[in-house]
Chain A
Amino acid sequence: MSDLILTPNINGADDFYAELLAAHEGLDKAQSDALNARLVLVLANQIGDRAILTQAIQAAALKE
């Protein structure tokens, strides 16, 4: 079984982060919430692996 990656894994982290912020620029709260929700779903589909998704949900909840 594979594990959720919780060590640095994004090449060009600053670039990615700036792109994420840029995508929200000019959006109101509702539009931003909607964008985030769509993004979560797109990424979840890319991962696909149910076990990893469960680990990701748990990791995001910061409830260790």
Chain B
Amino acid sequence: MNKIFEVPLYAYERSPDQDASSPVRHKVIVIGAGPIGLAAAIDLAQQGIEVVVLDDNDKVSFGSRAVCYAKRPLEILDRLGCGQPMVDKGVEWNLGKVFFDDRQVYDFNLLPEGGHQRPAFINLQQYYFEEYLVNRVRELQEAGAPIEIRGRNKVEAIGTHPDHVKLEVETPEGSYTVEADWLIACDGAGSPVRSMLGLDFVGRVFEDNFLIADVIMDAGFPTERWFWFDPPFNRGQSALLHKQPDNVWRIDLQLGWDIDKEREKRPENVIPRLKAMLGEDVQFELEWVSIYTFQCRRMEKFRHGRVLFAGDAAHQVSPFGARGANSGLQDTDNLIWKLKLVMEGKAPESLLDSYDMERIHGADENILNSSRSTDFITPKSEMSRILRDAVLDLSEQYEFARPLVNSGRLSVPCTYDGSPLNSADALLDGPARTRPGSPCPDAPLDEGFLLPKLGDRFILLTIDADAPDLIEEDGIEVTRLALSVKDDPTLELKRRYLGDNDSAVYLIRPDQHVAARRPNYDENQFRHAIRRATGKE
């Protein structure tokens, strides 16, 4: 059987645009049908905005690449209609083991917080993720949504204008010109769009190579994450073993800087390394092998007029902590509602600058966390290695040292503290995790969960407080979601949204981030908050 990543999922088809006498103008063009481009397009189409996705390929990601998907991206995918297949297929895990030298130094249970519909994270091959996104595109198309993917459409040149963007696209049948009011560049870490526009991409390259292998085996390894520092089978380096569905295991082996990549990738060199790690008699089959050098860098700005960068095209992180795809999804989650309001003339174009500001904040947080993990895993000076080894040695005997062990931190969404879209926090002693700028934490209700009731539009969440069912402020509609602590069997809603207050009113953005909160409804204040949250104040 062919692997899903070997089957063309969006084969080239001739588009009428290629035969048009003058270039056809689309509302939005997305470049790149990777996970981020597809998510952007689905979000737009769900909201009725016409979108065309161009990709130079016609298949999902070759090999697995991203493996871990955290809770927040799963919640975003729920809103995009693809969360369930991810969770159904994905592997959940809570137990991890840390090895140093020839011994296990400790194990841990993540003990995820309860009261969320989605798990803390799942493991799943990237090709499945992309397949589910493509399935969702097909489902939307069947329902008549204005979305199209054009395979083997390679963008070769770009011209930017004050009110549109013009593209030269190469296809198997020659090239054509096409235009868009807005362009979203999701063309990956090597982003040709970025180069065509002569834009920077600065940061740090980690002078190290990692062999990433996905192997299929029936081994009785438990569903746990195993991380080795300086193991006998990979001296001076690190190793990771992680489970994916279908008995596929992800193995990362650090190789160091001075290696011959082509040589190391050959099965005759990979297999002995894996045998040394897994045991001589373990049967396995190689699904995918690749060698990476990791980098942490980002563009200086994500918005360039009518061109918006998202995902790896805008920022790249080392994979420790699983932040690439996870943070890219938070980019489009942040961007699409803003773009929609701007396109509909309901918000000023400057609202898009808050995309830049908020997501750069997010990218910097991710780069910081990934850099710290990488520095721990691959110490670059003698003293950083001495300290790292001291932490590991202590962690075997003393619990205190374990939080210092950093083999990748869980990806958590960032809070947009200081965003110009936030209104000052007016809920005295309200829980810190729901202060303005925060992503709304989920909470169980009598029926279902909180998050599925939010999203796609502005919501006024009232908890034991009065307010109108609908507010309209300068074209922005805000619908009320009225809840009570009586609908809150576990008291998590109270804990996460009220604290010691008896009531609260939250203005929640379409990306489920808090824009404003107060103990009670105050019309004037909330009208201001709506204006602020849409870039009008």
- Residues in chain A within 8 A of chain B (CB atoms): 33-34, 37-38, 40-42, 45
Contact = CB atoms under 8 A, between A and B. Distances in A.
B390 A38 contact: yes
A45 B394 CA distance: 12
Interface residue SS majority, chain B? helix
Contacts of A33: 383, 386
Given A37-B387, A37-B390, 19 more contacts: A33-B383, A33-B386, A34-B386, A34-B389, A37-B386, A37-B389, A38-B390, A38-B394, A40-B387, A41-B387, A41-B390, A41-B391, A41-B394, A41-B401, A41-B404, A42-B394, A42-B398, A45-B400, A45-B401
Nearest to B404: A41
A34 B393 contact: yes
25 contacts: A33-B383, A33-B386, A34-B386, A34-B389, A34-B390, A34-B393, A37-B386, A37-B387, A37-B389, A37-B390, A38-B390, A38-B393, A40-B387, A40-B390, A41-B387, A41-B390, A41-B391, A41-B394, A41-B401, A41-B404, A42-B394, A42-B398, A42-B400, A45-B400, A45-B401
A33 B386 CA distance: 7
Contacts of B390: 34, 37-38, 40-41
A42 B397 CA distance: 12
A33 B381 CA distance: 14
A38 B400 CA distance: 12
Contacts of B404: 41
B361 to A, nearest CB: 22
Interface in B345-395: 383, 386-387, 389-391, 393-394
Interface in B397-417: 398, 400-401, 404
Interface in B4-47: none
B100 to A, nearest CB: 13
B165 to A, nearest CB: 48
Interface residues of B, number: 12
Contacts of A38: 390, 393-394
A33 B393 CA distance: 13
Contacts of B387: 37, 40-41
A40 B383 CA distance: 13
A38 B404 CA distance: 12
Contacts of B391: 41
A41 B398 CA distance: 11
A41 to B, nearest CB: 6
B395 to A, nearest CB: 10
Contacts of A45: 400-401
A41 B389 CA distance: 11
A57 B404 CA distance: 17
B387 to A, nearest CB: 5
A45 B404 CA distance: 11
A25 to B, nearest CB: 19
B390 to A, nearest CB: 4
A45 B383 CA distance: 19
A33 B391 CA distance: 13
Contacts of A42: 394, 398, 400
A47 B389 CA distance: 21
A34 B383 CA distance: 9
Most chain B Cβ neighbours within 10 Å, of A34, A37, A45: A37
Contacts of B394: 38, 41-42
A1 to B, nearest CB: 20
Contacts of B401: 41, 45
Nearest to B390: A37
Nearest to B399: A45
A33 to B, nearest CB: 5
A42 B391 CA distance: 10
B454 to A, nearest CB: 35
The 10 A-B pairs with the shortest beta carbon distances in the complex, nearest first, are A37-B390, A38-B390, A45-B400, A37-B386, A33-B386, A37-B387, A38-B394, A41-B390, A34-B390, A41-B394
